[in-house]
Amino acid sequence: MPANLLLRTLGDGFGESVHTWWAAHASLAADLRRPADLALVGGLKSERLAWAFASGYQAALRAAVPRLPADEPAALCVTEARGGHPRAIEATLRRAEDGRLLASGQKTTVTLGPLAKHVVVVLREGDQPNGRPALRAAVIPTDRPGVSVSEGAPLPFAPELPHGALTLDNVEVFPDELLPGDAYEGLVRPFRTIEDLHVLAATLGFLIREARLSAQSGRLQQLLILAVATRDLCSANPSDPAVHVTLGGLFSAVEDAAEQANLTRAARDPEAAERFDRDRPLLSVASRARAARLDQAWTAVGVHQHSPNQDDPLEA
């Protein structure tokens, strides 16, 4: 049960380096097989929001692509210069004359940048009869010849988390590295919800840590209830409109809880409170797309709910 997981001894956190975060996260992953539990406990071990986000993201990737190794960081690479929608994908997967599958192209967003040891890349395999791009996803190790991951300048929020860009130059892709089915419908679209859920779970773990450090039993009970609900929702069908409606309510509750927690944090640790304010945009990643999905979900269940547009601080 999440309560048992989240009331364990806090112990040491993840430290200040992305490398110490990963070493501790990988140790947790060896013990916690369920991605939702890994996200929750990863958040509980996080002294800063950046590590909670990173643990939630890595847990979400394992939920979406279980074949990814637990002991090496990974990244999903979709977005290109023209965006992340299907018609914007220009990176290609083609068959060479000798029968090998070769991937070429560029991706503008690699979460964790050069730290990522595997990338799940969405590639264009041609066009379908209806003219829509035929997309496939492949899991490729970043040490393969032809793969290059550059590191970008630190972002204004969560600068501890590296990010970068990916270049593929005739990289060989083996058949067993291809994920089945259409990459957009089978991976990219559901991952948006899977990522939201697991990052939310990690954020709740982070807030539970704060409530325990501040000895706020009333707030702790509220957060544990939200954690149980989020953990259960992680196992639901990400295309179910009810999931999006519930997720919208959970996000709203967690945003309120985060605001209250930071008021308490400011009195106990002003530096940590300033860092949280700096990194708050992490909670708004892909918020515009999430709001659109929520609006569609309410319509699907027979209720019109207008969601205002919001600018995303970064693209997933």
- pLDDT by residue, tens only, the chain of 316 residues: 555 666 666 767 898 899 999 999 999 999 898 999 999 999 999 999 999 999 999 999 999 999 999 999 999 999 999 999 999 999 999 999 999 999 999 999 999 999 999 999 999 999 888 878 999 999 999 999 999 999 999 999 999 999 999 999 999 999 999 999 999 999 999 999 999 999 999 999 999 998 888 877 788 999 999 999 999 999 999 989 988 899 999 989 998 888 888 877 877 788 888 999 999 888 877 667 777 777 776 777 777 655 444 444 344 4
Token pair recorded at residue 5: 């997981």
Query: Parallel, antiparallel, or unpaired: how do β-strands 118-127 and 74-77 relate?
Result: parallel
* Calpha distance 43→56 (Å, rounded): 8
What is the phi/psi pair of residue 120, to 5°?
A: -100, 105
pTM as predicted: 0.90
Side chain identity, residue 293: R
Q: Where along the chain do the CATH 2.40.110.10 domains lie?
A: 74-178
* Calpha distance 47→15 (Å, rounded): 8
CB distance 239 to 194 below 8 Å: no
CATH number of 74-178: 2.40.110.10
* Calpha distance 143→146 (Å, rounded): 9
* Calpha distance 194→192 (Å, rounded): 6
**Is 166 exposed, middle or buried, given 0-12, 13-18 or 19+ CB atoms closer than 10 A?**
buried
Q: Which of 112, 92, 120 lies closest to 104 in space, CA to CA?
A: 92
What does the CA dihedral 198, 200, 201, 207 come to, rounded to 10 degrees?
150
* Calpha distance 313→316 (Å, rounded): 10
Cα 281 to the center of its chain, rounded Å: 14
3-state secondary structure of 21: helix
Look-up: residue for tokens 């967690």? 254
* Calpha distance 297→309 (Å, rounded): 16
* Calpha distance 192→208 (Å, rounded): 24
CB distance 88 to 82 below 8 Å: yes
What is the phi/psi pair of residue 233, to 5°?
A: -65, -25
